[in-house]
Structure formats: C-alpha cells, structure tokens
Structure 1
Amino acid sequence: MEADLRVRAGGEGEPLLLLLHGLGATGDVWSGWWPELTKHWPGRWIAPDLPGHGGSPELPEYTFGALAEAVSPLVTGGGPTVVLGHSLGGVVALALAARLPVAAVIGLGIKVAWTGPELERARAMAQKPVAWFDSADEAAARHLRVSGLAGLLTPDDPAVRAGIHETGGRWRLALDPRAFGVGEPDMTALVAGTPAAVTLARGEHDPMNTDDQLRQWGVPVVTLAGLGHNAHVESPRHCLTLLADHVTDQ
C-alpha cells in the first residue's frame, strides 16, 4: 500500500522519523514541525495519511494491526527508525514496532482507559453513513470537531483542507467513519510486544489520560507542561524534546 498512501516527507539520510497522526486528522497536522525538523532532525522524516484518512485509501477493516501493516513499507532501508505517534497514531506505532525493527517509539496522548459507554459511542460512530455538506466551510468545521483540532487550526488551514473532499459540488470528511470502530488498544500486550524503547507522553491538560494511567506499564512517561491532547499542534518546539536523544542541538 506504500504507493497509495499520501505522504509528506523531507530530509535526507538517517535516522528516519515516522510521524503518525491521530484519528480524524491527516499527515499535514505535523506541518508546524517542518521548520523544526529542518533545523534539528539529522535524517529523513515521513508523515503519511493513515488509511481511511486524508488522501490515503480505505481499509476493508480497521484494526491497529491492519493500520500498522499499511504503513510498514515506509520503514525501509534497514537504518534506525524512530516512530512518534499521536493518539491513534501512537497505538499504531506500538503495533508497528512489534512487526519491524524500530529503535524507539513515542506514544503521545494515547487514550489507555476506556469505559463501556465510550466504546459503544465509538461503535455507533463507525456505523454512521458518510455525512455530506453543501460547502467546504461546513465540512471543515466538522473536520475540526472530529479531529479535536477546533480552536487550534483555522478552517482554511492546509491541514484542515487535506481532511475534506469534494465530489459533485458537495463536501465530506476524508475520514472513513468505519475507522471509529478500531476499538480499545491492549496496551499491556502492545508495550510488552515490542523490543523498541517505548516512551509514553501526554500534555499536562490532556483529558484523555492521566500520568498514573500511563505509568502502569513501567516505561518512561513524559508530561508536557501547559499543553493539551493535541500537544504536537499546540507547540511543536516543546514536543521536540520527546526526540531529545535523536535530534541535533536544540
């Protein structure tokens, strides 16, 4: 599927940095990182649209393993790879590291504790038909709400426009609604199943998780002061500290 995934990429050489966005977003959500990576990342970087998002094709079924398998061709060349994933992307990063030799995984903002009603709402969202809108602005507003980026990006931001599609004069989210059915991650198995160095991180004000929840797997936990669930959008430079062992002088 590598040839079919829409990607943003830059840099040269090693190590490779793979950036995986969260549910409803696209690879463009990392665009604030490009200047920082140009200055500080010593190798290549790739930010794909996950399947069923943005310009990437849909999957027959959405599981963490299927998403990891779809992005695995991007990890080529045999050199060291660091994977930084946000929310859903963080879980996919762990699943990927169980399949391929990855040096390090940073999972940012992963929701690790789910209630029955939360899972039921997600399943209901996955069964809803695609919603169509009469204007790009209406679709963009919906994309911002679904991706959790409302208040952080404007409707005309390229990262938002990458998340909507136009067909026959009507607009829809690029997101395949069935992706909401990916389910609850088995974090114990995912963390135990990768030989890579794992770090879990969260914004201090992220309502999706707590420090105590993330500490239960015995891996390093980093709390980013003053930031929320989409910490990587709020402050790319602050979040670059998550890559401190791999970047050049900050």
Structure 2
Amino acid sequence: MDTLNMRTGGQGEPAVLLLHGLGATGAVWAHFSVLLDRRVLVPDLPGHGPSSPLPHYSFGTLAAAVARALPGTGPYVVAGHSLGGVLALELASGKYGVEVDGVLALGVKAEWSQDDLGRAATFAARPPRVFETREDAEQAYLKVSGLLGIAPADPAGLRETEGGWRLAMDPAAFGVGAPDMPALLAAARCPVVLAAGEHDPMSRPEQLRALDPDAVVLAGLGHNAHVEDPAAVRALLERFGV
C-alpha cells in the first residue's frame, strides 16, 4: 500500500492544499503556510521525501495518490507549484472525487520541446546517484528543486545509503511528460489563477498569457516565487476568499 507523508496544521475552512514541484518536498511551503489562517495540508508527493514511490508516474497517478491521502473530499483551495500546479488542475477536473473551490497554478512549464522531453526521459531512466558526502547531496537536492541560494535543503529530501548519500526522490518521477494545459484548463470545474515570476525561466509570462490573458506576473521573482516572496503569492489566494 502506498503511503503519502502529509504535513497538517491550522483550522478553518475551506482547507488549503499545497502541492510542491518536481524534486522538492512539502517543506518549500513552510514560510507560506504560516500566512494562512485556516487548515493547511502539505503532502510530499509520491516518490519524494518519505512518501512511497509509484510503479508508474503520470499526472493522473500522482493526482490520484494525493486524492487518496486526503482526509475528506473537501472543499479545498489548491495551490500548486510547477508539477504541483499541474496536479492542482488535475484535481479540479472532478475525476478524483475531490471538491476544489479554486486553483492557483504557479510556475507551470507550459511549453515543452523535444529536447526538454528527451532530457527528462534520460533522468527518469537513471538509477539514483550516490554522493560521497551529505553536503554534496544537499547541493544536488537544491539544484534539482531549483532552490539553490534561496532555501536550505530539506533533510527529508535526502537518504543515507551504501557508499554515501542520495536524493530521496525517485528518478522515475521525471518521466511524467508534458501537460496538456489547454485541456486541463478547460476541464477545471472552478476558478483558476495562472501565475509565474517575472524571471521564471521555465514558465514564461508570455506563455501563460497565451493560455490565459489574465495570468499574473509576479514582479522581480523567479521560478520558486512562493519561497522568494511568500506574501506576494499568498495574496493571490484572496481571489478565492482565503
């Protein structure tokens, strides 16, 4: 049976579900979640941190695993970063038995080249790399999660193993592929806010505005805007009454 590590706290409805991006853990939401005056649920996605890996990774299998781990059917307001933003949109389709009142999809990579997909497939096929020291593994974790220079490594994102240290992340998770953003947006049964940092190299504002002319550009911020300026991103949830 798969297990999903879930951080919880606070009181008040609707609860807010926070979904991290590929390579990170729920710890990236630590400074963000304390700004919310309601119940907060922050999972480590399958194959990340102490959460169990999946036999196959797709947006559907990841969203289904999150839905199974929730304490009830909602309603939830869901904020997701990068991969987590795609999963938030998946959940908003209603296919997983979860009631979603609103979605904030932050820093989602909307356009994928064949080179992008090829690199991801290569990473997914590799065994976990073993580093001689914990410090080297921490640096690798921060690079993979895009957190180098803006946050410390989450200890739950590392694992001691024979010969040294490795990332806790299952490399196969890189094989999720590219999301069909137009279809996901069309299927969402709730209001959706698309947002990205002005300097996000993975989620260019013009790409998001091609999907939604009202997409929000967060001035001066990069890919992990929720870590760089939690208050600026938290303000976007006010659109859902949160």
TM-score (norm 1): 0.90
Match of 2:52 in 1: 57
Question: Would you say 1:48 and 2:43 are equivalent positions?
Answer: yes
Match of 2:12 in 1: 13
Q: What do the CA deviations read for 1:181-213 (whole angstroms, capped 9, x no partner)? A: 100001111111111111100001111122221
CA RMSD of aligned residues (A): 1.7
Structure 1 pair 78/13, CA: closer, same or farther in 2 (3 Å)?
A: farther
The CA deviation at 1:8 is 1.2
CA distance in 1, matches of 2:69, 2:173: 21
The CA deviation at 1:165 is 0.7
Match of 2:79 in 1: 84
CA distance in 1, matches of 2:74, 2:99: 9
Question: Would you say 1:161 and 2:155 are equivalent positions?
Answer: yes
Contact 1:85–1:91 (CA under 8 A) maintained in structure 2: yes
Matches for 1:57-206 after TM superposition, within 5 Å: 57-98=52-93, 99=95, 100-154=98-152, 157=153, 160-168=154-162, 170-206=164-200
CA distance in 2, matches of 1:209, 1:168: 37
The CA deviation at 1:78 is 4.6
Q: What do the CA deviations read for 1:6-33 (whole angstroms, capped 9, x no partner)? A: 1111012311100000000000111112
The CA deviation at 1:73 is 2.8
CA distance in 2, matches of 1:36, 1:218: 27
The CA deviation at 1:218 is 3.5
Contact 2:124–2:175 (CA under 8 A) maintained in structure 1: yes
CA distance in 2, matches of 1:31, 1:83: 16
3-state SS, counterpart of residue 63 of structure 2: helix
Aligned AA (1:179): A
3-state SS, counterpart of residue 34 of structure 2: helix
Contact 1:107–1:199 (CA under 8 A) maintained in structure 2: yes
Match of 1:236 in 2: 230
The CA deviation at 1:34 is 3.5
3-state SS, counterpart of residue 151 of structure 1: coil
Aligned AA (1:122): A
Aligned AA (2:205): D
CA distance in 2, matches of 1:78, 1:92: 16
The CA deviation at 1:74 is 4.2
Contact 1:67–1:92 (CA under 8 A) maintained in structure 2: yes
CA distance in 1, matches of 2:216, 2:164: 43
Structure 2 residue runs without a partner (length 5+): none
CA distance in 1, matches of 2:241, 2:90: 24
Structure 1 residue runs without a partner (length 5+): none
